[in-house]
A and B are shown apart, each in its own frame.
Chain A
Amino acid sequence: MSDGLLQKFITLERKYIYLVVLIVAAIPTVKPLGIPIVISEETRIFYQEIEKLEPGDVIFLWITTDAGDYPEIGQTSESILQELFARDVKVLMASGRMATSMLFLPNLERISDKFGKVNGVDWMYYGYIPGEEVAMASLAADFHSIPVDVYGTPIEQLSILNNLNTISDVQLFIGALESPDDLAAVVRQIHVTYGAKCLVTVTQKCLSAATPYLGAGQIAGILKGVRGGAEFEQITHRPGLLSQQIDVQVLVQGSVLILGFSYMISDAIIRLKQKKEVEK
């Protein structure tokens, strides 16, 4: 390969890289490839914890995500919710971000209708509660501290909350978490304070923060980003948007490797040639 071409490659303008990424990401979006994925041990452990739930058990689902991360953990939360409803598990839900409330509610209603579940009996949703960690602590200490649900219905009228007062009264806590701070808040306010069993689904950027908690046993199970969500869809036999996103992830990350190694080899060849010319 000529030196000019190699030099052009290593000084490639960013707009061409962006174009490559755009094309590579667009292909599976338009035509899903259906790349098979292997279910990881972490997803199996997460699913086994869900399998232990009996019909009538109550779990608490806490979701914190902005619109940007909703395709990742919001979709995973919907997938988890479908599995919980299929097992006749009752679900209490709340959000730590305003965006979650706006995005999640229509999907919650759709899933509820699909499984024939009733608001107030099989599920209830507090909506967005300001305060992040403090909101989580307040709700965990007393489910009746928030007087109404997302529709403005007084919670005394919701039969699902009969005989439920604190987080200790539920069988499981599931957190769909966007940032390491949210993860630390769950561990502090839920597991450490009440000893509740916690499962989490986190964004890719939280993985480094989640691993110590997983190793210490403070988190019982984890779904890791898009990959974990896609695996959960596969293991519950309900493939959805996350399985499609895996195709995009594979191609984009593959393109990073190909471009990166090409850059590395080109750079090495040019420097070797320059070194030989200097020696001459």
Chain B
Amino acid sequence: MSVIWRRDIPRVFMVFFVLLMVLDFNITGVPILKDTSNSAKGGIVVVTAFSQVLGAIILMRHYFESAKKRKPGWQVNVYGIVLFLFMVTIGITYGVLHPWYQWVYNSMNVPLDIAGSSLLMVFIVSAGYRLFKIRNIESVLIVVTLTLTILSQVPLGEHLWRDFPLIGNWIETVPTAGAYRGIMITTAFGTIMLIIRSILGIEEGLFRRV
């Protein structure tokens, strides 16, 4: 019975939705197909919202257990629980546009998020500094490409020589785009094959927990 619940029923749902979306895309002039497809898409939006709630509950359970067992860093988990309960209470009671909610979000989440992204800058500069090491042909190509790309993107390069942007544009549109197209096409084919194999029951990776 558990096999039916864990593997077969999810597979039936998957086949239904895949066929629904494919048929909706390819067949026009069938109102019931369009309406069913639109309803399915709207329903998935609701399911996604619930999955976020589920994720938050699982995270809180982890925090509670960690705090109860006094694992290393449990104080941070307690802080996380308090903040979570505060935000949920304010959000549900007064809405996310309430000044308290906005203040906590803008004063804590936003600066931390921006700081995390900004730290990437220093790591990239540090890595870039050590990248300029000529050992072989590949490293020469890397250095030359890196230099030309940087000079093509900053105004400094344009003022040094007006054709730097053209070179950068060529690097972007010919070798880079070509490589990316190959990756995108193979990824798309791989995804299609995975879905077909999952539908036919050949691939069970998605339902591996049986």
A residues whose Cβ falls under 8 Å from a Cβ of B: 14, 17-18, 21-22, 25, 35-38, 40, 66-71, 99, 101-103, 105, 129-132, 134-135, 137-138, 141-142, 145-146, 151-152, 184, 193, 207-209, 211-212, 215, 227, 246, 249-250, 252-257, 259-261, 263-264, 267-268
What are 16 A-B contacts defined by CB distance under 8 Å?
A38-B165, A71-B114, A102-B110, A105-B97, A130-B49, A131-B45, A132-B48, A145-B45, A193-B25, A208-B180, A215-B177, A255-B125, A259-B129, A259-B132, A260-B128, A263-B130
In the bound complex, CA of A259 to CA of B34 (Å): 59
In the bound complex, CA of A38 to CA of B166 (Å): 13
In the bound complex, CA of A209 to CA of B37 (Å): 29
Q: Which residues of A contact B158 (CB under 8 A)?
A: 37-38
Whether B122 contacts A18 by the Cβ 8 Å rule is: yes
In the bound complex, CA of A78 to CA of B152 (Å): 26
Shortest CB distance B11–A (Å): 20
Shortest CB distance A179–B (Å): 13
Whether A250 contacts B154 by the Cβ 8 Å rule is: yes
Shortest CB distance B87–A (Å): 11
B131 at the interface (CB under 8 A from A): yes
**What 0/1 readout, one digit per residue, does chain B (139-155) give for beta carbons within 8 Å of chain A?**
00001001100110111
Q: Which residues of B contact A68 (CB under 8 A)?
A: 113-114, 116-118
Q: Which of B71-79, B101-109, B195-203 faces chain A?
A: B101-109
Whether A102 contacts B96 by the Cβ 8 Å rule is: yes
B12 at the interface (CB under 8 A from A): no
In the bound complex, CA of A146 to CA of B38 (Å): 12
Q: Which residues of A contact B126 (CB under 8 A)?
A: 14, 17-18
Other-chain contact of A257, B34, B52, B97, B150 (Cβ < 8 Å): B150
Q: Please report whether the interface of chain B is mostly helix, strand, loop or mixed according to DSSP.
A: helix
Shortest CB distance A215–B (Å): 6
6 shortest A-B CB distances, which residue pairs? A68-B117, A67-B113, A260-B132, A138-B41, A131-B48, A211-B177
In the bound complex, CA of A106 to CA of B117 (Å): 22
Q: Which residues of B contact A254 (CB under 8 A)?
A: 154, 156
Q: In the complex, which residue of chain B has the Cβ closest to the Cβ of A128?
A: B96
Whether B121 contacts A25 by the Cβ 8 Å rule is: yes
Other-chain contact of A99, B113, B129, B165 (Cβ < 8 Å): B113
Q: Which residues of A contact B156 (CB under 8 A)?
A: 35, 250, 253-254
Q: In the complex, which residue of chain B has the Cβ closest to the Cβ of A72?
A: B117
B70 at the interface (CB under 8 A from A): no
Whether B45 contacts A138 by the Cβ 8 Å rule is: yes
Q: Which residues of B contact A250 (CB under 8 A)?
A: 154-156
Q: Which residues of A contact B52 (CB under 8 A)?
A: 130
Count residues of B near A (Cβ-Cβ below 8 Å): 53
Besides A17-B126, A130-B48, A131-B44, 19 new A-B residue pairs in contact (Cβ under 8 A), listed by A number: A68-B117, A131-B45, A131-B48, A132-B48, A135-B48, A138-B42, A145-B42, A151-B97, A193-B25, A211-B176, A211-B180, A212-B180, A246-B155, A256-B128, A257-B147, A259-B125, A260-B131, A260-B146, A263-B133
Shortest CB distance A73–B (Å): 12
Shortest CB distance B129–A (Å): 5
Q: Which residues of A contact B150 (CB under 8 A)?
A: 253, 256-257
In the bound complex, CA of A233 to CA of B121 (Å): 24
Whether B184 contacts A35 by the Cβ 8 Å rule is: no
Shortest CB distance B171–A (Å): 10
Other-chain contact of A17, B113, B125, B132 (Cβ < 8 Å): B125
Q: Which residues of A contact B143 (CB under 8 A)?
A: 260, 264
In the bound complex, CA of A141 to CA of B24 (Å): 11
Other-chain contact of A40, B96, B116, B165 (Cβ < 8 Å): B165
In the bound complex, CA of A250 to CA of B121 (Å): 13
Q: Which residues of A contact B44 (CB under 8 A)?
A: 131, 134, 138
Q: Which residues of B contact A132 (CB under 8 A)?
A: 48
Shortest CB distance B150–A (Å): 5
Q: In the complex, which residue of chain B has the Cβ closest to the Cβ of A19?
A: B122
Whether A135 contacts B45 by the Cβ 8 Å rule is: yes
B65 at the interface (CB under 8 A from A): no
B173 at the interface (CB under 8 A from A): yes
Whether A268 contacts B132 by the Cβ 8 Å rule is: no
